[in-house]
């Protein structure tokens, strides 16, 4: 920037002198504004107390028992409500509870009016997610942690419905039970 300003002052750029003077003036005032803004931001940064270090920041949820500086609507990670999603092959259940395990809302595809095989679809799960989010927002919930259990078709659709309904999802945890060769499975279904 300074090199361009010096070249313009020396007259290295051709053209009419009035245009050259206007260019020099605009570049000079622009440079002064930039320097003033840099000084102001440096003084504001020095005056403001440092609330969060880069070392303290992490994209992952904190380990239980270890504190975190991150806040969602003024709440710590442990104080944010939990949305439990159980996605089976035939239905999808969504329950939003407080950290103390007090239920805010419990909805299934059946309570939303879907019948029989339509309960196991992604559209039904998304509808349930939207209505569960609307009910939770009415009770003052704005952020949720999501815990998903099961392999049904409504896994991702339910999470999408929660966000479409107005809730902000801060973490997604998969809690699907996986047997380590525990019980004997049922016999194979023949059609």
Sequential pLDDT tens for the chain (191 residues): 455 545 555 555 555 555 444 444 555 566 667 677 777 766 665 555 555 555 666 677 667 777 667 788 888 888 899 999 999 999 999 999 999 999 999 999 999 999 999 999 999 999 999 999 999 999 999 999 999 999 999 999 999 999 999 999 999 999 999 989 999 989 999 98
Q: Report yes or no on whether pTM surpasses 0.75.
A: no
Is residue 132 a contact partner of residue 83, using CB atoms and an 8 Å limit? yes
Structure tokens at 17: 């002198």
Classify 176 as helix, strand or coil.
coil
Helix 2-10, helix 17-47: angle, nearest 10: 160
Collect all residues with Cβ–Cβ distance below 8 Å to 138 and sequence separation of at least 6: none
Give the pLDDT score at 73. 81
């Amino acid at each position: 920037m300074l090199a361009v300003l010096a070249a313009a002052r020396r007259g290295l750029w051709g053209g009419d002198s009035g245009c050259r003077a206007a260019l020099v003036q605009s570049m000079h005032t622009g440079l002064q504004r930039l320097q003033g803004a840099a000084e102001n931001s440096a003084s504001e940064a020095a005056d403001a107390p440092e609330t969060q270090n880069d070392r303290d920041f992490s994209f992952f949820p904190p380990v239980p028992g270890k504190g975190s500086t991150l806040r969602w609507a003024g709440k710590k990670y442990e104080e944010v409500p939990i949305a439990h999603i159980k996605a089976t092959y035939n239905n999808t259940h969504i329950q939003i509870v407080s950290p103390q395990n007090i239920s805010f809302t419990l909805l299934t595809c059946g309570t939303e009016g879907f019948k029989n095989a339509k309960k196991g679809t992604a559209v039904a799960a998304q509808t349930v997610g939207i209505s569960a989010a609307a009910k939770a927002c009415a009770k003052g919930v704005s952020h949720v942690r999501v815990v998903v259990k099961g392999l049904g078709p409504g896994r991702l659709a339910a999470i999408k419905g929660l966000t479409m309904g107005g809730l902000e999802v801060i973490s997604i945890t998969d809690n699907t039970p996986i047997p380590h060769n525990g019980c004997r499975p049922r016999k194979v279904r023949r059609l």
